[in-house]
Each structure stands twice: as C-alpha cells, then as structure tokens.
Structure 1
C-alpha cells in the first residue's frame, strides 16, 4: 500500500511508559517502511502534551494511545478530541482488556492488548492508512456552482425537489443529482440507508434504537422498521471495521 502523497503521514504515539512508547514507535516504523508508506512518528509521554499540540493546530491523522496513564488517560483524551470534532483514527493499546468496549464510545478504530502483537498492529495501521488515503472530498453541483464537500462533514442526505439535500455539520446544501449518484461517490461502508431514500453517515450515529437513530449532535431520525435489521447490521460492521 504505497503512500502516493508527497506529504508524510503523521502518527502520534502517547504512552507514559518510555519503554512501551519506544517499542510501539519502532514496530510502527518497521511496518510502515515495509509497506512503503511515508510517515513521521511523534511520541508523547502524556495525554495533556498531545492534546495541547492538537489544539495548537498540529494534525495527526492516526493516534496510538495507551489507555492507562497518569493524569488524563487515553479514554479521556479521546473523548476530549471527539468533543472538539477531531476525526483522527484512534488505536488504543493497553494491558486492560476490560476497557475495550469503551472504545466504541469514541469511535476507536482498534483496541490492541499489551504485550503488543506485531501482526495485529500491522492490520490496525493498514486499516487506518487505507481509510486516510480515501478521497476526503467530493465535488457536487450546487446553486453556487461546483462545490467541494468534505465527506466527513456530511451528516445525512434526504430527497430534495431537484435532487438531494445534504445536511452538513453547520449548514445544508442542495445538490442537483439523484441520491443514487451521490451515494456512488461516498465511501460504501461509511454510509447506510435508514429509509428507502434517506442516507446517513455512520460516523455521526451515536445510538440505534427501535425505529429511531440518535446522532452525535443530539438530532434524532426515524428509521424505517423495514430497514432496521439491515441498518443495525451495517452499523455494527462499521463499528468493528
């Protein structure tokens, strides 16, 4: 999976144990080098230090976080980042397996146990790299002309009299294309129909209840009872991916 971009992929490793931090960095570097993925790895000895860097504008598309750390732990760091709309892929690494389920609450990509298995780390890193290298924008015809839309900003899509309306994080955009054509431009496993002509970004879904979705922004959407079983299946596949 060679990285075709000129800018190296930036990874952050956060672990308060120096030996673990060095081991994770070395393993990650060897995996990425073998896959011909250009990357820069940055190490942090506390969650607070990494959080400050991100809030100051530093970007790390992939984060490898220890869960159990002094002060702010990895879960608290992830929650703070998600609250700030940070979309980085998160890989938790911990000796505490009992906290794995909490990773779903912050949309973690993987939860790996210590001692770290190289094959599992490789799978997790390649999964996150593949997602990062997917197109992040699509170009759609709108009233103002050809507009670039960030895929991650799309919350859900509904029919509009001349095409579809995209509900974005902070605004709505009308697009003069059928929903089937818009769907074909989007990452297949990230979006799912919750009605015959209504599409939602699974990254924005918090809960699935009977006949209702709750989004992370607090909005609730009715789900067709005929779509419920299939939607739940697609949502679980997305969470486990």
Structure 2
C-alpha cells in the first residue's frame, strides 16, 4: 500500500491528478491511499506535527503561502525517502532536482502521459526500496538492517562496515562474503574497498559516486565503465 499526498490550491487540479494516479496504479496492480490538500501549510503541519507518513507527494509549485518549491526542504527531516513529483503549468521554472530531491517534473498540459509515467515509475521505485533486510547475528546480538537504508559497505581491516541511516554496523566478514549474502542486484562493487547501494546513488561525477546522504565514494578507474553500465541496466530493469 503506497501512501500518497496531492497538494494543489485548485480542487479541479487535485481531481485531475487523483484520476491519473488511480488509473495508473490500478493498471499496475499497486494498492494506494490518497490524501488531498488545498493548503501547503496543512500538508506540512500533518507531516511535522502529527507525523503523517507519505511515500509519494504530488505538488503544485505556485500556491498561496508556502510554495511547492519550499516544501521539500521543510519535510525532508521527517520524510527523508519521500518521492516528490512537481505538477505545474509553470514550465519556465528551472528545477534543481538534486538539491530538492525531486523525483520528476510534470507539466499540467500533459498529465495523461507524463504524470501517469512518473507515478508508475515512482511506485515501482518505492516498492523496490521496501525490499529485504541484512541480518548481523553474533553470540551477543542480532541486528537487522533494511536494504533500502544501506548507503554502502566498506572494508575495515578484517571487518566490513555497513553504513546506513542508523549509523555504522560492523560485521567480521570480508566484503565479498557480505556481497554474496546480500545477493541483491542493487549492490555492486565500485572499488575493491567499497560496495554501494545503487538506490542511494544520486549521480556519478567523474570518478566519484555521490550518495543521497552527501557522501562521495571513489570509483576505481578499472570499475568506472562497468559501474555506469550496471547502474543503467539496473534502472532499465526496475523502472
């Protein structure tokens, strides 16, 4: 079940967005729950004060009070993984998707095609991120780390350190052992000392992988071409 918020100051626009969302997800067989907002402040209050959870938010850019452009920064601390789709008639705006963590930008005059594709892609990504867990078990503790929360794994002497949203967890295994235990297509070696989670990669800049948490990891020259190809293949297969 994907939880979706639609925020637009025009009720007619909300109805059109909702119609496209429902049709798109029903065709994919994906369950959904939609909440509509005509005031951006109400959306922010629900998320910040009442801790409402949403997987996907559709936002108009130009709204009275708090604009759609301001919302991503205000809710990021509460919903770090939320997917945001801007739906707007103001196509002249230059959207910095990297800074605002915006999943897609859709013009209102092309809702049927562009919004349907954006919602379908976002829903598939959300389901992918919901995936499995990696379990660390010793004589004294057991820890489960959701795959979607793992940024990367690095070699740390005889240990492998798993860096995730919860912090750093060490396991006395080689990187190769951890990689084989993960056994998931979103994880790949980018260097002999690093395994990265493709889902957490924002971009490849030169010989560096830039992650969603702001960290930058080196990609060895021998791996660079293959890393780019594997990332393209991964998203081609899943989105």
TM-score calculated relative to the size of structure 2:
0.78
Residue deviations 1:93-126, cap 9 Å, x none?
1123344641232332222111243233232222
Q: Which residue of 1 aligns with 2:192?
A: 196
Residue deviations 1:175-227, cap 9 Å, x none?
345434544637634x4533133123355556654444555545444442334
Q: How does 1:18-33 map to 2 (within 5 A)?
A: 18-33=11-26
Matched, 1:179 2:172: no
Return 5+ residue gaps in structure 1 as ranges. Answer: 1-7
Matched, 1:109 2:103: yes
Q: Which residue of 1 aligns with 2:37?
A: 44
**How far did 1:233 drift?**
6.3
Q: 1:146 to 1:30 in 2, by over 3 A?
A: same
Alignment partners' CA distance in 2, 1:239 and 1:159 = 26
**How far did 1:41 drift?**
0.9
Q: 1:187 to 1:25 in 2, by over 3 A?
A: farther
Q: Paired residues, what number?
A: 233
Cα RMSD (Å) of the superposition? 3.2
Q: 1:203 to 1:80 in 2, by over 3 A?
A: farther
Q: 2:145 aligns with which of 140, 149, 158?
A: 149
Return 5+ residue gaps in structure 2 as ranges. Answer: none
| 2:7 and 2:60 in contact (8 A); partners too | yes
Q: Which residue of 1 aligns with 2:10?
A: 17
